[in-house]
Structure 1
Amino acid sequence: MKAPKERTHALESALDAARWAPSVHNTQPWSFSLSGGEIGLRADTERTLAVSDSEGRELLISCGAALFTMCTTLRCEGYEPIVTILPDPDRPSLLATVKAGNETKADEETWVLGGEIERRRTHRAGFASPKVPGRLIDSLIRAAREEGAKLTVVDLPAAVEVIAALTRAAQGVQAQDRRFTLEMIRWSRRPGSSRRDGVPAEAYPGQALPTHPEFAQRDYAWQQGWGHDADQSGSATTGVVALLTTPGDSRQEWIAAGQALQHILLRAAAHGVSAAFHTQALEMYHLREFLRLELCSGEYPQMIMRLGVTFDETESVRRPVTDLMD
C-alpha cells in the first residue's frame, strides 16, 4: 500500500483538478473540504444563478462535472475513488464525499481523459468544416450511458431547426428581461479584468459567423463590443447537435448529468472536438417541457450542445484552490 502522505497528495491533486471543470457562465459554484482522508464537495449557493437557475439544476450539473474530474484524477494518481452522493439529508449543500480507495492502475483511456482536464475549452461560436467522426459520437454516447445519462444526436434537420428556434426564442425573451441581463453582467468579465471567474472577453468572438440554422449565443459583451477578433473569411458550421437527458429530474440525476457531461467533454477534447452549450431554452419551464415531450421521448433534457472542430485558442480562468476550501 502507498504511504498515507502519498494518499493525501492524491486527494490534493484531485482538488486542484476539480476547479478546471466546466460550469454555467464559469461561476465555479463549488467549495471543498479535506479532512480525515475525505473530500467533501459542496454547492456554493452564493454563486447560484437566482434568475435563470432558481432550482439549482445547472449548479448541480456543474458540481457533477467537478466530481467526475476528481474521480478521474484519483484514478490517474493510482486510487479507485469511493464516492457517496448526497450523503446527509440534513446537509443538502453537501453533494458528495470522495475517498481514495484501493490502489488501482489507470487504463489508457483514463490517462487520456486526465490529460484533457486543463486543456478542454468551451466554444462559443460556429465550428470549422471538418466533421465529427461517427465512431467518436458512438463513444460519447457510451460515455454518457456509463454515468447514468443519455446522449442523443439530433439528426433530422427539422428537429435541429426546432431546437435552434427555441434557443433563439429563449434568448430573445431573456434579453428583454432586466433580471436576466443583470445576472449576465455579474458573470461577464471586461477585457483586462483580473477576476478568476466568469466568462472572459477573450473567450468568445466579437462578431461570430452565423451558423445555419442559427443558434443564438449569449451576449456576454452586453453590446460593449468585447470579444476577440475572429476570422470572417470562411464559413461556420453548426456541428453535431446533441441532447443530454436523464430519466428523472432529481438532484441526484442532475449530478449524474454533470458527470456524464464532463466524461463526454474530456473524451471529445482528446479527439480535437469541442462543445458549445445552449441552455437558454432549458431555463424556461414551458420550453424545457416542450423539448422533453416532443424531442426527448419523455426524458428530461439537461443540456443542449453542439459538437465540432475548432482551431481557436481561448483563455480559461479559474480561482485558486485556496479560494475554494471551506
Structure 2
Amino acid sequence: MTTRTPEQREDAIRAALEAGRWAPSVHNTQPWSFSVSGEVVSLRADVDRKLRVEDSSGRELLIGCGAALFNIRTALRCAGFEPITRVLPDPDRPSLVATVGVGAPMEPDEHTRLLGGEFERRRTHRAGFTDLPVPERLVEALVGEARSEGVRVTPVVAPGAVEVVAALTRAAQEVQAQDRRFSLEVIRWARPPGSGRGDGVPAGGYPREAAPTEPRFAQRDYAWRHEWGSEADQSKSASTGVVALLTTSGDSREDWIAAGQALQRVLLRASAHGVSAAFHTQALEMFHLREFLRAELCSGEFPQMIARFGITFDDKDAVRRPLSELVD
C-alpha cells in the first residue's frame, strides 16, 4: 500500500496553496485567501476584492474562488493525496468557500499530471487569435472536462448565434462604458507600466486598441483615459476563435463555485494543448441580457461565462500576489 511521510504531506499543502493563487479571476482581482489548520486548507472569499458595481451579487467572485478550489484539489492529487472537499461547509461563515483536507495516499494519473502542469502556464488572452483552428477533438474534450464537474460547455457553432453573442457583448460594453462607475471600477484594476503590484491587469496584458474580430467581440476598456496597453497590428483582423457558453442548471452559490471549478478544468486542458481563452462577461453582468441568453441560447440553463478559445503566440508574464499576502 502506498504511504506518505509527514514531510510529503506538508509539501502537498504548500503545493496546493501555491496552485490556488494561480487561478484566474475577473480583472485578476484574486479575491481569495487561505488558511491551514493541521492538514486542512480553508479557502475564503475576500469580499474586499469584490467588484461592487460589476459583480454586486458576488457571482464572478465565487467563480474565481471555484477556479482556485479546483487548483487546490488538483495539486493535492498531483502530490499523491486524495482531496477531501467540502463546499460551503458552514452556513454561519458565508465567506468560507470550501475546506480541502489531505486524504488517503493515491497515485495521480497522467491526466491529473497534465492539468497540474499548466497552473502557471495558463494565460488569459484579451484580443483576437491567429487563424490556426482549434481541433474539433479538443473542443469535444473540453466539453467532457466541464461535464466531469457537473457543468455544461456548449460551443456556439451557428454563425447567426455567434453574432448574437457578439452583439450582446458589444451592447453591454457600450452601456457600461457610458457608466462612470463601471469605468472607474475597471481601471482600478488596470496597472500602469512599471507597477509592482501583484494583482490587476498589467499594461502589457491587454492591447491599447485591439485588432477587430469578425464578428467583433468588445473588449474591456482597460486603457480608458490613458495610453497604457500594448500595441496591436490594426492592419489585419484577428480570428474570433471558438465561442463557447458555460452554463449550469441552477444559479445558486454552489452552482457558481461549480462553474469556476469546471472553467479552470477546461482552461488547464486547453492550455496543455496550446489553446488560450478570452472571456466576455459584460452581458452576464446585466440582468436582462443574461436572461435573454438563458432563454434563447442556453436552453433555460444559466450562463456563467462566455469564452472564446483560440491559438496565440503571445507569452505575456502573469502577475500574482505572494503567498505571504494570501495565507493566514
Where 1:252 maps in the other structure, the secondary structure is helix
Q: CA RMSD in A?
A: 0.9
Please name the residue that 2:319 is paired with: 317
State how far apart, in whole Å, the 2-side matches of 1:297 and 1:190 are.
42
Residues 136-182 of structure 1 deviation map (CA, whole Å, 9 limit, x = unaligned): 00100000000110000001111111110100000001001111111
| Within-5 A mapping of 1:161-176 | 161-176=163-178
Where 2:168 maps in the other structure, the secondary structure is helix
Please name the residue that 1:151 is paired with: 153
Please name the residue that 2:26 is paired with: 24
State how far apart, in whole Å, the 2-side matches of 1:74 and 1:143 are.
19
Please name the residue that 1:76 is paired with: 78
Residues 102-156 of structure 1 deviation map (CA, whole Å, 9 limit, x = unaligned): 1111111111111111000000000001100000001000000001100000011
> Does 272-281 or 178-187 show the bigger shift?
178-187
Please name the residue that 1:300 is paired with: 302
Asked if residue 204 in structure 1 is aligned to residue 206 in structure 2, the reply is yes
Asked if residue 181 in structure 1 is aligned to residue 174 in structure 2, the reply is no
State how far apart, in whole Å, the 1-side matches of 2:235 and 2:167 are.
26
Alpha-carbon offset, residue 233 of structure 1: 5.1
Q: Is the 8 A contact 2:39 2:101 kept in 1?
A: yes
State how far apart, in whole Å, the 2-side matches of 1:262 and 1:60 are.
13
Give the TM-score normalised by structure 2: 0.98
State how far apart, in whole Å, the 1-side matches of 2:270 and 2:5 are.
35
Which amino acid in the other structure matches residue 119 of structure 2?
Answer: I
Alpha-carbon offset, residue 4 of structure 1: 1.8
Q: Is the 8 A contact 2:214 2:237 kept in 1?
A: no
Which amino acid in the other structure matches residue 282 of structure 2?
Answer: Q
Residues 45-87 of structure 1 deviation map (CA, whole Å, 9 limit, x = unaligned): 0000000101100000000000000111111101111100010
Where 1:33 maps in the other structure, the secondary structure is strand
| Within-5 A mapping of 1:239-258 | 239-258=241-260
Please name the residue that 1:275 is paired with: 277
Alpha-carbon offset, residue 207 of structure 1: 2.7
Alpha-carbon offset, residue 8 of structure 1: 1.6
Alpha-carbon offset, residue 5 of structure 1: 2.4
Where 2:220 maps in the other structure, the secondary structure is coil
State how far apart, in whole Å, the 2-side matches of 1:221 and 1:197 are.
17
State how far apart, in whole Å, the 1-side matches of 2:317 and 2:222 are.
15
Q: Is the 8 A contact 1:14 1:73 kept in 2?
A: yes
State how far apart, in whole Å, the 1-side matches of 2:194 and 2:315 are.
17
* One of 131, 145, 149 as aligned partner of 2:133: 131
Please name the residue that 1:264 is paired with: 266
Residues 240-269 of structure 1 deviation map (CA, whole Å, 9 limit, x = unaligned): 000000000000010000000000000000
Unaligned runs of 5+ in 1: none
Alpha-carbon offset, residue 231 of structure 1: 3.8
Where 1:91 maps in the other structure, the secondary structure is coil
Please name the residue that 1:216 is paired with: 218
Q: Is the 8 A contact 1:279 1:304 kept in 2?
A: yes
Please name the residue that 1:48 is paired with: 50
Please name the residue that 2:115 is paired with: 113
Q: Is the 8 A contact 1:211 1:238 kept in 2?
A: yes
Alpha-carbon offset, residue 232 of structure 1: 4.3
Q: Is the 8 A contact 1:209 1:236 kept in 2?
A: yes
Please name the residue that 2:64 is paired with: 62
Where 2:33 maps in the other structure, the secondary structure is strand
Where 1:302 maps in the other structure, the secondary structure is strand
State how far apart, in whole Å, the 2-side matches of 1:218 and 1:207 are.
10
Q: Is the 8 A contact 2:167 2:217 kept in 1?
A: yes
* One of 225, 228, 249 as aligned partner of 2:227: 225
Unaligned runs of 5+ in 2: none
Asked if residue 8 in structure 1 is aligned to residue 14 in structure 2, the reply is no
Which amino acid in the other structure matches residue 199 of structure 2?
Answer: D
Asked if residue 39 in structure 1 is aligned to residue 41 in structure 2, the reply is yes
Which amino acid in the other structure matches residue 322 of structure 1?
Answer: S
Which amino acid in the other structure matches residue 84 of structure 1?
Answer: R
State how far apart, in whole Å, the 1-side matches of 2:255 and 2:209 are.
36
Runs of 4+ in 1 over 6 A off after TM superposition: none
